[in-house]
């Protein structure tokens, strides 16, 4: 873990140090002259360097007998959470590129950065998240000769106040939770099986309990799930030799709980599509079809360490969706644990089946609200692109709380409707419903399918099919699993939630 501190005094120049100075578009060239000299100003002008995000100008200088690396880094308004987090992330990446062991992030001259109060805590949180995520790499399966250990050991943020220091610890916890989710998503499917997720949950609970937290784990095997009538979940997993696991993590806060909250994550650890078989290109990233599960597991760990004031239940119905003589087939009818029957017209619409039984299980806990997270539909990516999560709920208060948390966290979300007239598409002649509707509006009919299993509990559905996985780096995201929306979940659970539906 990086050593992160804040200071109001210019840090002394030391060997192995990188100084990063953010500059916005329209910056005054004479400010560069005053600080670094006319030669640097003229060199910047020749590049040219406009101060846009992604642009940088690097040089070295000698001060007090020491060579210091300096990078001028383009940045948007640092009052925007995503911009501040990305600046810190990019600065950490640059430090590793030049082999620096210490990063000095110059924020003392940045316009609009707060110095005190809650905003200062937010700044400390976002900067710590950014620099720590800037060191993230999944290298478990790289040989030693191909690993590139991080050179960065410490970060000093030079600001107008040291007040953000208090927020740094929160940022570290959030970044660790995101990294946990990324590691689970990036692991190969032969490693990250339902049994592996259950073991990770067990190890996590043991570690948290040893720290004095009130946490519990329940893992249901196939027979126990059958006894509970989870026919939809078990139908998805029956084609694999890997046994399905239903994982239930529970946490009680030290003080009086404000409410009980259930988080449900899609845990299909590999999705071949079943008999509605995916093509090779569509299957390559399907180890990432459990990113919803990874998000709620990572968020559970972070929420416990942050000491959120809610009783928390994280639920994962983990299974593989494979093809075999035992696999469920097109035309099969499965029965969910609330008694509803589902005709299967697409075995590649499996996530909603596993989530249906998980939602019914969650409802029996009588939570004040439940939120599900799933890489559910390609249709959501078509609607919103690869970087924005779709938010579906008819609960305005819950939506508003979630979107405010997302804005504070710098994660992109957009509301999609749940039009009741589209439920017509889910009608079946042989069962209570089908598991898919028509192609058009597929993200919406998936949400409408899930709405049949809320059992009267306040509910919100987050389709993370786009932002949960990245084909290339952007923002604070590296290729592979992104850890979205862990930061938003933790922000929501750390603040007041409206406990009445509107």
Catalytic residues: 278, 352
> Counting Cβ atoms within 10 Å, is residue 283 exposed (0-12), middle (13-18) or buried (19+)?
middle
Question: How far is CA 429 from each of CA 331, 333, 439, rounded to the nearest angstrom?
Answer: 11, 11, 19
How many residues are present in the chain? 502
CA 103 to chain centre: 26
Q: Give the span between the Cα atoms of 194 and 289, in whole angstroms.
A: 12
Question: How far is CA 24 from each of CA 72, 92, 123, 457, rounded to the nearest angstrom?
Answer: 10, 19, 18, 46
Buried-state track 134-165, b at ≥16 Cβ within 10 A, e below 16: bbbebeeeeeeeeeeeebbebbbbbbbbbbbb
Per the DSSP assignment, residues forming a β-bridge with 102 are: 17, 154
Backbone angles phi, psi at 168, to 5 degrees: -65, -35
Q: Give the span between the Cα atoms of 83 and 343, in whole angstroms.
A: 46
Q: Give the span between the Cα atoms of 113 and 23, in whole angstroms.
A: 14
Backbone angles phi, psi at 59, to 5 degrees: -155, 170
Q: What residues contact residue 495 under an 8 Å CB cut-off, 6+ apart?
A: 401, 405
DSSP secondary structure, 339-403, as one string: S-EEE-S-TT--HHHHHHHHHHHHHTT--SEEEEEE---HHHHHHH-TT-EEEE-S-HHHHHHHH
Longest dimension (CA), the chain: 82
The helix or strand, by DSSP H or E, that contains position 74, with its residue range, turns out to be strand 66-74
């Amino acid at each position: 873990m990086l050593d992160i501190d804040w200071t109001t005094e210019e840090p002394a120049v030391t060997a192995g140090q990188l100084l990063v100075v953010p500059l916005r578009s329209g910056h005054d060239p004479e400010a560069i002259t005053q600080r670094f000299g006319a030669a640097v100003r003229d060199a910047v002008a020749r590049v040219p360097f406009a101060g846009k995000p992604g642009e940088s100008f690097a040089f070295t200088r000698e001060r007090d007998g020491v060579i210091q690396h300096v990078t001028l880094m383009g940045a948007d308004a640092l009052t925007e959470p995503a911009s501040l987090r990305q600046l810190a992330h990019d600065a950490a990446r640059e430090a590793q590129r030049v082999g620096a062991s210490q990063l000095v992030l110059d924020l003392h001259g940045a316009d609009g950065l707060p110095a005190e109060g809650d905003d200062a805590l937010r700044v400390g949180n976002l900067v710590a998240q950014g620099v720590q995520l800037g060191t993230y790499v999944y290298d478990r399966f790289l040989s030693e000769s191909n690993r590139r250990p991080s050179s960065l050991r410490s970060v000093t943020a030079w600001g107008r106040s040291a007040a953000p220091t208090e927020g740094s610890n929160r940022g570290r916890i959030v970044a660790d939770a995101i990294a946990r989710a990324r590691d689970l998503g990036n692991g190969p499917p032969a490693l990250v099986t339902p049994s592996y997720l259950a073991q990770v949950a067990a190890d996590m609970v043991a570690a948290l309990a040893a720290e004095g937290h009130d946490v519990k784990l329940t893992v249901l095997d196939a027979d126990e799930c059958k006894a509970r009538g989870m026919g939809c979940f078990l139908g998805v997993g029956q084609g694999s030799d890997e046994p399905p696991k239903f994982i239930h993590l529970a946490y009680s806060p030290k003080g009086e709980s404000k409410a009980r909250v259930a988080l449900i994550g899609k845990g299909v650890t590999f999705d071949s599509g079943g008999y509605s078989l995916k093509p090779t290109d569509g299957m390559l990233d399907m180890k990432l079809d459990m990113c919803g599960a990874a998000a709620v597991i990572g968020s559970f760990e972070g929420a416990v360490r942050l000491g959120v004031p809610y009783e928390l239940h994280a639920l994962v119905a983990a299974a593989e969706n494979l093809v075999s003589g035992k696999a469920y087939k097109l035309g099969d009818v499965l029965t969910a644990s609330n008694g509803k029957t589902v005709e299967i017209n697409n075995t590649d619409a499996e996530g909603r089946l596993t989530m249906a039984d998980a939602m019914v299980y969650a409802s029996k806990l009588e939570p004040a609200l439940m939120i599900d997270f799933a890489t559910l539909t390609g249709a959501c990516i078509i609607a919103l692109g690869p970087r924005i999560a779709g938010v579906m709920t008819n609960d305005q208060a819950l939506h508003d709380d979630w979107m405010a948390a997302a804005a504070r966290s710098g994660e992109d979300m957009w509301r999609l409707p749940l039009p009741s007239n589209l439920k017509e598409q889910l009608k079946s002649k042989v069962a209570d419903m089908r598991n898919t509707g028509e192609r058009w509006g597929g993200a919406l009919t998936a949400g409408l399918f899930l709405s049949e299993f809320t059992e009267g509990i306040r509910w919100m559905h987050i389709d993370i099919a786009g932002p949960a996985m990245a084909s290339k780096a952007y923002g604070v995201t590296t290729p592979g699993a992104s850890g979205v929306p862990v930061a938003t979940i933790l922000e929501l659970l750390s603040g007041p939630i409206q406990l009445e539906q509107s």
